[in-house]
Structure 1
């Protein structure tokens, strides 16, 4: 059973979410809170697996409530907001998804399914005992008659150039004579994630994530580089960001 809390300063909004949750047999509402102060105390006293968190509330807002919780006790969250934009800070705080008010039932179901998948992945990771696989630690790059070795740790993202891949290392680029698809199977999925048919990013380089209207998204790396995320890769990216966090 997945334990759920609902936090919103509007009583009608809280009742609306709880009404939608009643359709899911595997979800149990264990608490509801009308402001950030009460939510922080309640989430600390009785931690849920998942919280529906209103972003804008008087006093302590939803993101501040999540940030105040210790990472090891911070639940997954689905943000409730009237605005179609927010930064990756939300994902660093275990935000699974966001729902625009008034809540669309189809999007609500999608958010629940995403939370289920992430909780399942966490459970698997917590019980896994297999020996870690060996992943690519460095790239061999031919430059004229020389071979240069580039550590995977120094690569911020990888783009596609036809059948070749382009490594982005600071302000320099290096061409690797392998396809992006081939590299994606060789890199550690806990550190590198494909976000588009033409790009792979290193997870610890992600600074912001902005949803777009067509369910694509736009990443911004710490060095300011924008990288588009296609809708077919968004779920795997979110899962990887949570696992890395």
Structure 2
């Protein structure tokens, strides 16, 4: 069953897509949210295979969200928009299809079938896990649920949606193992790029990262600031 998340700021558009999706075989609606930031917040929990994604939304647009998800095997993107002008950019971002509103059932089915064929070609293990111990027992945390990783003495503290976890791998080992899934902010901090919402520049010139899912605002070193700015600029 293909898990689908609808992301659109218009309630009527979300309702229409949900109704059409109910007529598409092999698909399951796992959620419906009104903007890109909300979508980022539920990806780890809902684990969608496909996003039905609007482009023009407040705060975080569909193209910016797609850029933040670039490099992931899932979720795949199907844009659903009232405007033709973004089609080239959409396909440059790796979109499976580009549907114009009002979306027709036959085109939605066609796009979803294309996505399902692409999903069938992916490795079966859909989630990357970090492994550690909690009160002596082995546990694992999906990388999609990680908010940030902080180096503290001999361990790395994994801050995730459900709390904290200690792991023995160093930040360098993690950065080398997951180069497309973790971004260095500072010598003692890595974050998943999708968690990075923006920067706050302090009066003394220091830059703090605004991360989705936490009030923690880790400092961004001068060495890593250009790469962080570029990522935010490109979405």
Using the size of structure 1 for normalisation, the TM-score is: 0.46
Bigger Cα Rg: 1
